[in-house]
Structure 1
Amino acid sequence: MGAEILTVENVGFRYGGTPVLRGISLRVDAASTVAVTGANGSGKSTLLHLLAGVEAPAEGSVRRRAGCRLALLPQRTSGIDALPLTVAECVRIGRFRPRRRLDRGDRIAVGAIMERLDLAHLARRRLRELSGGQRQRALVAQALVQVADVYVLDEPTVALDAANRRHVHDLLAERVRAGAAVVIAGHDAADAALADRTVRLAGIQGCTGTDASGQH
């Protein structure tokens, strides 16, 4: 395992006063993959939002290594699907930085990830014109085109066929070999099989921490 990138210590979270997570602790190291599993409603998406800083814990702490670059792929929503973006515009968002124009390196990176995920021929199509699997590939490309220390991905292969799942898994493995960490939440057994460690959330009832017994 590499150096520690993210640390979660005894974290709890509530929505409108209703507990969602309680007593969650985990560590995410460089060059490793962590799978977050559990039933619907167990708090998987919430935990990923806490890791990414989208939400703040009600108790406990989430610490990120200084200068940590994080890429988040949230669950797809109807709002995302309705955005008036082309596939190329959607992917390019992953390379945007404040006060900096996209350069040749950015354009090469965008083109390369679109080729890898079989999106190049869809570059000018709008997201709302695509199938569910095509839209999901565009969103995965937006996340993976980023240069990040940790990729936090919520159900990245949902709606994808077997061939496109393999393409995504290959890309994730490349990121890990290059030293990044990957955190994947979802139900897909093939996604979980990539992991060095599995964290199982049991929901707030009786949930006192994480099960990190799933070593591969």
Structure 2
Amino acid sequence: MSIEVLTAEHVAFRYAGTPVLHDVSLRVEAASMVVVTGANGSGKSTLLHLLAGVEEPTSGSIRRRTGCRLALLPQRTSGIDALPLTVAECVQIGRFTPWRRLGRSDRAAVATIMERLDLGPLAHRRLRELSGGQRQRALLAQTLVQVADIYVLDEPTVALDAASRLHVHELLAERVRAGAAVIFASHDTTDATLADRTVRLAGITGGTLLAT
């Protein structure tokens, strides 16, 4: 039986009085992958932030299944660059909890995800020293090392080469097979072919953003 982990109904959002999203509805089930597509400015990042609880909708409702753990990869993460973090420290943040120290299983998970994303040679480099693709892999590792029921990722393969995109696709598919829901925004048509369902934000029509 399919288990719904996240539901959005008739969601709208305004930023400084300007409509950004209007009447967006979707249902996300466990062990499924949903891709959000649309042109630049169509509201993809805003929708993901709403689904993740970073923002609240102007109207409509978003419900996450009680007890669901959610991991978010935002598109804009400039704040983290201001911290003197190494790649290894950045990834370890994904396993951090305020009530306990990292254990053996946490360190093993960090080592595994860094190997899968070819980050081992960069472990002691500062984030601010990395190329765009290297930094993206580090932030992906921080997100995917988390134990979550829902993964929300904004443009996860941006700036990545073909080999790295393939590794990310494999990791996302593994999360789905393990029972998680994966929701991500992308312009990449290859990314979109992975999804069980596509939500297309069609853009502003008569001042209103429509989802199809």
Tell me if both proteins adopt one fold, taking TM over 0.5 as the criterion.
yes
Q: Conserved in 1, the CA contact under 8 Å of 2:33 and 2:194?
A: yes
Distance 2:2 2:152 in 1: 17
Aligned to 1:54, what secondary structure does the other structure show?
coil
Aligned twin of 2:182: 182
Cα distance in 2 for residues equivalent to 1:153 and 1:39: 17
1:145 paired to 2:145: yes
- What is the identity, as a one-letter code, of the residue corresponding to 2:178? A
Q: Normalising by structure 2, what TM-score?
A: 0.96
| 2:196 maps to 1:210 | no
Question: Structure 1's 159 and 86: CA in aligned 2 closer, same or farther, altered over 3 A?
Answer: same
CA RMSD of aligned residues (A): 1.3
Unaligned runs of 5+ in 1: 212-216
Q: In structure 1, what is the Cα distance between the partners aligned to 2:107 and 2:20?
A: 41
1:162 and 2:165 equivalent? no
Task: Tell me if the contact between 2:149 and 2:180 (Cα under 8 Å) persists in the aligned partners.
Answer: yes
Cα deviation for residue 210 of structure 1 reads 3.0
Give the drift of 1:208.
Answer: 6.6
SS of 1:25's partner is: strand
Supply the distance in 1 between the matched residues of 2:183 and 2:77 (Cα, whole angstroms): 20
Instruction: Give the counterpart letter for 2:175 in structure 1.
Output: R
Aligned with 1:47: secondary structure?
helix
Residues 14-93 of structure 1 correspond to what in structure 2 (within 5 A)?
A: 14-93=14-93
Distance change in 2, residues 1:210/1:120 (3 Å): same
- Give the secondary-structure state (helix, strand or coil) at the position aligned to 1:202: strand
SS of 2:13 mapped into structure 1:
strand
Aligned sequence identity (%):
78
Displacement, 1:101? 1.2
Counterparts of 2:20 and 2:209, CA distance in 1:
12
Distance 1:130 1:52, change over 3 A: same
Equivalence map 1:108-147=2 (5 Å): 108-147=108-147
Unpaired runs of at least 5, structure 2: none
The answer to whether the 8 A contact 1:152-1:184 is kept is yes
The residue type paired with residue 96 of structure 2 is F
Asked if structure 2 preserves the Cα contact closer than 8 Å seen for 1:176 and 1:182, the reply is: yes
Partner of 1:97: 97
Q: Match of 1:173?
A: 173
CA contact (8 A) 2:70 2:150 kept: yes
State the distance in 2 between where 1:77 and 1:68 align. 24
User: Hey, what's the Cα distance between the residues in 1 that align with 2:63 and 2:204?
Assistant: 22
The count of residues paired between Structure 1 and Structure 2 equals 211
| Cα distance in structure 2, aligned partners of 1:162 and 1:188 | 11
- C-alpha deviation, 1:202, in angstroms: 1.4
> Contact 1:10–1:209 at 8 Å: present in 2 too?
no
Q: State the 1:127 CA deviation.
A: 0.5
Moved more, 201-210 or 134-143: 201-210
| Cα 1:77–1:97 shift into 2, 3 Å | closer
The amino acid of 1:177's aligned partner reads R
- Identify, as 1 or 2, the structure richer in strand: 2
SS of corresponding position for 1:23: strand
